[in-house]
Amino acid sequence: MPSHARPHIVLIVADNLGWGELGCYGGGALRGAPTPRIDQLARDGLLLQNFNVESDCVPTRSALMSGRHPIRTGCLQSVPPGLPQGLTRSEITLAQLLSAAGYATAHFGKWHLGDVEGRYPSDRGFDEWYGIPRTTDESQFTSSIGFDPSVVELPCIMEGVAGEPSRQVKVYDLDARRGIDAELVERSCRFMRRQVEAARPFFLYLPLVHLHFPTLPHPDFAGRTGHGDFADAMAEMDHRVGQVLDEVQRLGIADDTLFIFCSDNGPEFRAPYRGTAGPWRGTYHTAMEGSLRVPFIARWPGRIAPGRVSNELVHVTDLFSTLAAIGGASVPTDRPIDGVDQRAFLCGETPKSAREGFLFYIKQELRAAKWRDWKLHFHWEPEVNQGQGKLESPYLFNLTRDPKEETDVLVFNTWVMGPILRMVRDFNASCREHPNTPPGEPDR
């Protein structure tokens, strides 16, 4: 058993990493880039085959940080710089909970939950941060034909510490985009060293930039695989995760550290950075399994048995409740929290997840619902921008027998509508009792 009653927590979130990219999920060498470090991490811990997220970057990150579905918090999609976005200050973040419980907290990477004073990571529970406040494609701005900095602010890498204004460090251009993940890992390792020297538990949140477009590798990895920029970037991502793992080992805290690696949503779909969701159909920005299901690996020696693989259903909001409980914090009781505590499942005390289903919104539309082995689509969009709109009669799929969601079986299984529509009814009642925050809501 770990010696710390409260373990260190390392949470690495890859950006737009599809279910089928890593070797341990059937990709790796088949995608032109072996991923030996992440594959070993999976062998050392728990690999989830049914870990579910939101449709794209902002809603997933808000769900992780707040434990609430994005329709509740107004964090529905990415918006251009200078427009209201992100979590309002009335939301309570995972970092705030863990900080109040005595954890040192750091964010190194992509935030995407607010780009004005009061909403940066160092305003929302993190002792320090370094990274980008919005999204990675902004690194293309300064290289774009006709870019006019008089109407769009220059994208910048920023940093900040709690209690002080965040500041711009340098322009986030294509050169900076190639080098940023190396910087994030270097700062992460320095942070961990400082906390170990201070004998303080820490929460390291490391939302990497890879594999978001433009998917460009560090110069040291350019040409490494022989299969192009995307594969080179995946090889670099595997190496960066390995660097963090090596530092945890070097510091002698491996047995005292819950180490999680996951993705924020399904794969890239833009050429030439096209990703894959393996056996699942669709990409992010849809309600298909290729959007919802992403890699999730957790290692915690002495608590999580090595070599476990599970197809039990887990949702990204569960990380909020689970990590708060592991850190000795209590989740808020003055608002609905959609995440459930999955400690017993993660640690193998029960083979079953603590949840059976969830609702899936894109923006403010209920697109689908998952329950046990079933998926009910209220809208149909098998590929991005190829939707048919709201369905007069929903489509129902059994995901075990029909992983690509190709054969509607509702007419033979109308009984499944009962438990799913009860989930919808109960969620709607909760939203009436606790009104949702409108998108773009200012802080009060």
pLDDT of residue 388: 75
Specify the CATH architecture of the domain 8-142+153-346: 3-Layer(aba) Sandwich (3.40)
57 is catalytic: yes
**pTM of the full predicted structure?**
0.97
Catalytic residue selected from 8, 24, 57, 69: 57
Residues 84-94: b if buried by 16+ CB within 10 A, e if exposed: bbbbbeebbbb
pLDDT value for 1: 33
Would you list the DSSP string of 217-235? Answer: --TTTTTSSSS-HHHHHHH
pLDDT value, residue 3: 43
Residue 83's pLDDT is 67
239 in active site: no
**Of the candidates 124, 118, 70, the residue with the CA atom closest to the CA atom of residue 442:** 118
Residue 259 has a pLDDT of 98
pLDDT of residue 186: 98
Return the DSSP state at 443: P
pLDDT by residue, tens only, the chain of 444 residues: 334 479 999 999 999 999 999 999 999 999 999 999 999 999 999 999 999 999 999 999 999 999 999 999 999 877 767 666 789 999 999 999 999 999 999 999 999 999 999 999 999 999 999 999 999 999 999 999 999 999 988 999 999 999 999 999 999 999 999 999 999 999 999 999 999 999 999 999 999 999 999 999 999 999 999 999 999 999 999 999 999 999 999 999 999 999 999 999 999 888 899 999 999 999 999 999 999 999 999 999 999 999 999 999 999 999 999 999 999 999 999 999 999 999 999 999 999 999 999 999 999 999 999 999 999 999 998 888 777 789 999 999 999 999 999 999 999 999 999 999 999 999 999 999 999 999 888 888
Cis peptide upstream of residue 121 (ω within 30 degrees of 0): no
Give kind and range of the element (H or E) at residue 90: none
What is the identity of the amino acid at 120? Y
Q: Which of the following is catalytic: 69, 112, 212, 377?
A: 112
Question: Residues 105, 202: contact at Cβ < 8 Å?
Answer: yes
Q: Do 119 and 158 contact (CB within 8 A), yes or no? A: no
Tell me the chain's radius of gyration from C-alpha atoms.
21
According to CATH, what is the number of the domain 357-433? 3.30.1120.10
Q: Decide: helix, strand or coil at residue 417.
A: helix
Q: Which residues pair with 9 in a beta bridge?
A: 203, 258
Domain residue extents for the chain = 8-142+153-346, 357-433
Asked if residue 320 lies in contact with residue 340, where contact means CB atoms within 8 angstroms, the answer is no
What pLDDT is stored for residue 421 in this prediction?
A: 98
Work out whether the CA dihedral 66, 15, 123, 362 comes out positive or negative.
Answer: negative
Residue 161: in which H helix or E strand, if any?
A: strand 156-161
